Amino acid sequence: MVKILKAQEVSDILQDMPKVLIKSTTRRCQEEDADRLYEQAKAQSEALIQRSKKLALSIVANARAEAQEILNEAREMSTVIFEKAREEGYQKGLALGEEKSAYLVESAESEKNKILEQAYKEKTEILNSVHTEILNLSMNVAEKILGYQLSRNEKVFQSLVLNAIKKVTWEDKIKISVSETDYERFFEGDKQERFKAEYFTDVVFEKDDSLKKGDCILHTSKGKIDASVSTQLDNIKEALGV
């Protein structure tokens, strides 16, 4: 059965995802921009749901009306055929009339079922597509808000790196590759000391010109761990099926 998303459920999707990704939003201007993006997306989602529901219900209602009309016409015609055969008074004619009447009604029932089946199929496709569109919209909003926060709030990327280090605390030494821009902004010189002191782990940061802003690759004895912003967003998309 297709799940019809209610306005509140859409609100929950849009509200929860950015919160998971940008817990450290502190500046008032940033919060206002994030709220503005959220409210715009919420309004778009609610409008999309209402339009889609209206279209889906219209398709089913029209199909039901068309199917019932076909069935009514067949029943009327079968009655006419049957009465005509009865008036003729011939047993053979009566039997033939009954056969034709039954065939007409049976054919009409079959046509009715086909019409309704197609209508419900279209309804399902519409509701499935709107569900996907809302998830895509939610992800786009999350990406925009996170991208904005990365450029304006240094705590966002630092928090991402710290969370990544937490996952490899078994290592005595960790090498982390980031983009040249992020290295100069967050990790150049004595800026690295905060990460070493917090986890009592020897953390070495290096800049990699092949990486883009927001990328973060951890090198451990067990292999590489991609903790990049884009990778985490892709993982969320994959989990949601968008």
Do 19 and 102 reside in the same domain of the chain? yes
| 186-201 tens-digit pLDDT | 877 776 776 665 655 6
**CB pairs under 8 A, 24+ apart, for 58-63?**
59/119, 59/122, 59/123, 59/126, 60/116, 60/119, 60/120, 60/123, 62/119, 63/115, 63/116, 63/118, 63/119
Count of residues making up the chain? 242
| pLDDT for 228 | 82
Mean per-residue pLDDT of the chain: 68
pTM of the complete model: 0.44
Residue at 2 is within a domain: no
Yes or no: say if 30 and 148 are a contact pair by the CB < 8 Å rule: yes
Residue at 1 is within a domain: no
Provide the 8-state DSSP code for 184: I
Total tally of structural domains belonging to the chain: 2
Instruction: Give the percent of the chain with pLDDT over 90.
Output: 1
- What is the arithmetic mean of pLDDT over 16-44? 54
Query: Domain residues for 163?
Result: 154-240
| 98-154 tens-digit pLDDT | 666 666 667 767 777 777 777 777 777 766 666 666 666 665 656 655 655 666 666
The last residue of a domain, from among 105, 130, 152 = 152
Other Cβ atoms less than 10 A from the Cβ of 124: the count is 13
Do 104 and 195 reside in the same domain of the chain? no
CATH number at residue 233: 3.30.2320.30
